[in-house]
Amino acid sequence: MALSITSLCISCSACKLVCPENAIRVSDNQFTIVEHRCNECSEATGTPQCASICPVENAILDANGISLNPTGSLAPVTFNQERILALKGEIA
Amino acid sequence: MNNDLARKHSEMRMKDQRVQTHPCYSKDAHKYARIHLPVAPACNIQCNYCNRKFDCSNETRPGVVSKLLSPAEAVHRFQAVKKRMPELKVVGIAGPGDPLANPNATLATLKGVAEIDDDVHLCVSTNGLNLPEQVDALAGVGVHHLTITINSLSAKTASELYSWAYFNNQRLRGIEAAEALIEQQMKGLKLASEAGILVKVNTVLVPGINDGESLSALAKEIQSRGALLHNVMPLISDPAHGTFFGLNHIPGPDKEQLEAARKVAGMDMQQMTHCQQCRADAVGKLDSDQSCASKELDSSVATVRIAVASSTGELIDTHFGHASEFRIFDVSESSLALVETRQVEKYCSGMEHCDDQPLAGHIKALHDCQQVLCARIGMDPWQSLENAGITPSVEFAMMNVTDTLKVLAPKASSSCSGSVNKEAC
């Protein structure tokens, strides 16, 4: 069982620096997860570290190909439309 | 310390030689140049005014860089630029991510620069999330100037400025992320000031979020924790940058709003007003950025030092861990020279042990090389080499040494896309 990195990756290295299994390789600026090294962080921390720091939605998939940071999941949680309009000065 | 005393103390410190020769700390130091070395790509938070994906040669702002450098390449760039620009006085690491989310690369680069020039100021710019744990290491390599971006003391306010933070192995969001970040920033600021580091605090001003009361409280607190200088910067909010604020058309402050905010903060903190909001790879004086020119410069004068693991010197045929010697070559566009052969104690006795053996001796022997070529190498030695700023490669396994080195010779870059970036660093 291993996670994988999609082509949405921006090569920021964050995952590589936090992976406790040293499972992330980079070659020609392409980041990949070495399958036999990745244990999905089942032992170390419980939550996959790469997916916990990755800044891009849908860049990391679980073993079944499901996105660990699906669309919208990394957006700010504190804003609603009303607050945005207020900041734009469109409502008081 | 009461307010007047604190202000006098701060005025006194502003006369420090280390302040007077740093173009970001003193308006009068504009004749000195600085270079930002882009060695720190990873970030541990998401600011709502930043988009990590974007990199365009026509735009200039923090968090953006054209090409990342390894620590060895960065030290090399510093050397090359210093030769042409004797007024270069400041070496900073500002990203393009957070330098302290990349502590190995950041510290290795600063150490490398300090080894060849003990006269430059070393600076780091951070969001502060990892600062308390890194203050000693920064002071240890000689960092005298530190910038922490602190936008608010209130978690509620800050939760509108940050989407998430990666802290203690978890992604925190909203208020929780803001609380962790602020606590670390305050702790870090105090520790850094106590360690004798001159701390500048940057605040990105977003009207309606962190102006007014919030800013006044922030200025008071950072003053009491020993910050030297405060830089209230306008939000850059262009939709083309793809940031959350940009895409939602949330405007930055106009001139009056910025001035009013600086006045409020100025009650308690000495204000910096000449910031140009640099890119993470800026080079030159504040008013004349040469990042593009310097890239051409460092590739045209470049010599790379490459180590080769080879049994006879003809083919790249030796496993990194089996090598008892490395041939060290200096390679430039026009020349290829064998510098020497360095003996090492071989440490790997088979697949099972390959990843576990210490290899500090190897790394020491190769410390001045940018690359090492070998037939094979284990994952852990690979990682350790990268952490030390040395790039391993097995891409040329079993190929001819001379032919490979010719392929790897640095080429003078023919052009830099577009004109020289206007300084907005």
Domain ranges of chain B: 3-296, 303-408
**Position B411, amino acid:** K
Does residue B285 contact residue B21 with C-beta atoms inside 8 Å?
no
Rounded-to-10 torsion of CA B354, B359, B362, B366: 110
Question: Per-residue confidence at B54, pLDDT binned at 50, 70, 90?
Answer: low
Please, what is the average pLDDT of chain A?
Answer: 90
- At B202, which amino acid appears? N
Mutate to test the interface with B, among A17, A21, A90 (most CBs of B within 10 A): A17
Q: Give the mean model confidence (pLDDT) for residues A24-42.
A: 88
3-state DSSP helix/strand/coil % of chain B, to nearest 5: 35, 20, 40
- Contact between B284 and B423 under an 8 Å Cβ cutoff? The reply is yes
pLDDT exceeds cutoff 90 at B96: no
Q: Smallest Cβ distance to B208: which of A11, A45, A87? A: A87
DSSP state of B352: H
pLDDT at A66 over 60: yes
Query: With left for phi above 0 and alpha for psi between -120 and 50, is residue A88 left, alpha or beta?
Result: alpha
Which of the residue ranges B14-18, B299-303, B354-358 would you say has the lowest mean pLDDT?
A: B354-358
pLDDT of residue B70: 85
B160 neighbourhood in chain A, CB within 8 Å: 76, 78-79, 83
Mutate to test the interface with B, among A79, A82, A84 (most CBs of B within 10 A): A79
Q: What percent of chain B has pLDDT over 70?
A: 77
**Contact: A56, B53; criterion CB under 8 Å:** yes
* All structural domains of chain A: 1-92 (3.30.70.20)
Determine the average pLDDT of the residues in B283-307: 61
Average pLDDT over residues B355-374: 79
Nearest-neighbour CA in chain B from A78: distance (Å): 6
CATH fold of the domain at B303-408:
Nucleotidyltransferase; domain 5 (3.30.420)
> Most distant CA pair in chain B: distance in Å?
73
Question: Using alpha carbons only, what angle is made at residue B147 by residues B146 and B148, rounded to the nearest 5 degrees?
Answer: 120
Dihedral sign, Cα of residue B222, residue B227, residue B228, residue B233: negative
Q: Is the peptide bond before B410 cis (omega within 30 degrees of 0)?
A: no
Q: What is the mean pLDDT of residues B237-243?
A: 85
- Bridge partners, residue B201, by sequence: B148, B230
Nearest chain A residue to B175, by CA:
A78
Is pLDDT at A48 greater than 60 in this prediction?
yes
pLDDT tier at A58 (50, 70, 90 boundaries)? very high
Q: Could you tell me if B248 lies within 8 Å of chain A, comparing CB atoms?
A: yes
Residue B415 confidence (pLDDT) above 60: no
Q: Indicate if ipTM > 0.90.
A: yes
Q: Which residue has the higher pLDDT, B29 or B240?
A: B240
**List of residues 6+ apart from B271 with CB closer than 8 A:** B229, B230, B231, B232, B262, B265
Q: Are B105 and B130 in contact (CB under 8 A)?
A: no
Contact A74 B166 (CB under 8 A): no
| B393 at interface of A, judged by CB pairs closer than 8 A | no
Q: For residues B421 and B231, which has the higher predicted lDDT (pLDDT)?
A: B231
Alpha-carbon span B128 to B110, nearest angstrom: 18
> Is B251–A74 a contact, with Cβ atoms under 8 angstroms apart?
no
> What CA–CA distance (Å, rounded) separates B98 from B311?
42
Report pLDDT for B353: 47
Edge-first strand listing for the sheet containing B45-47 = B45-47, B162-167, B170-173
Residue B65 has pLDDT above 70, yes or no: no
State the average pLDDT over residues B398-420: 66
When pLDDT is cut at 50, 70 and 90, the band that residue B2 belongs to is low
CATH of the structural domain B3-296, one choice from 3.20.20.70, 3.40.50.720, 3.90.1150.10, 3.40.50.150: 3.20.20.70
Contact A17 B42 (CB under 8 A): yes
Specify the pLDDT at position A89.
Answer: 83
Encode pLDDT of B315-344 as tens digits.
Answer: 999 999 888 899 999 888 788 889 999 988
pLDDT band at residue B57 under the 50/70/90 scheme: very low
Contact present, B375 and B321 (Cβ < 8 Å): no
Whether B357 and chain A come into contact, CB under 8 Å, resolves to no
Question: If you average pLDDT over every residue of chain B, what do you get?
Answer: 82
Residues of B in contact with A22 (CB under 8 A): 379-380, 383
Q: Which of B97-111, B188-202, B211-225, B374-388 has the lowest mean pLDDT?
A: B374-388
Contacts of A74 in chain B (CB under 8 A): 46, 163-164
Q: What is the pLDDT of residues B157-211, one digit of tens each?
A: 999 999 999 999 999 999 999 999 999 999 999 999 999 999 999 999 999 999 9
Quote the minimal CA–CA distance from A49 to chain B in Å.
7
- pLDDT beyond 70 at B40: yes
pLDDT single digits (tens) B392-408: 888 888 889 999 998 88
Q: Is the pLDDT of residue B417 over 50?
A: no
Interface contact flag, A88 B251, Cβ < 8 Å: yes
Q: Is the pLDDT of residue B142 over 50?
A: yes
User: What is the rounded average pLDDT of the residues B44-66?
Assistant: 66
Min Cα–Cα distance to chain B from A54, Å: 9
Nearest to B126 by CA among B90, B97, B98, B93: B98
**Residue A80 pLDDT greater than 50, yes or no:** yes
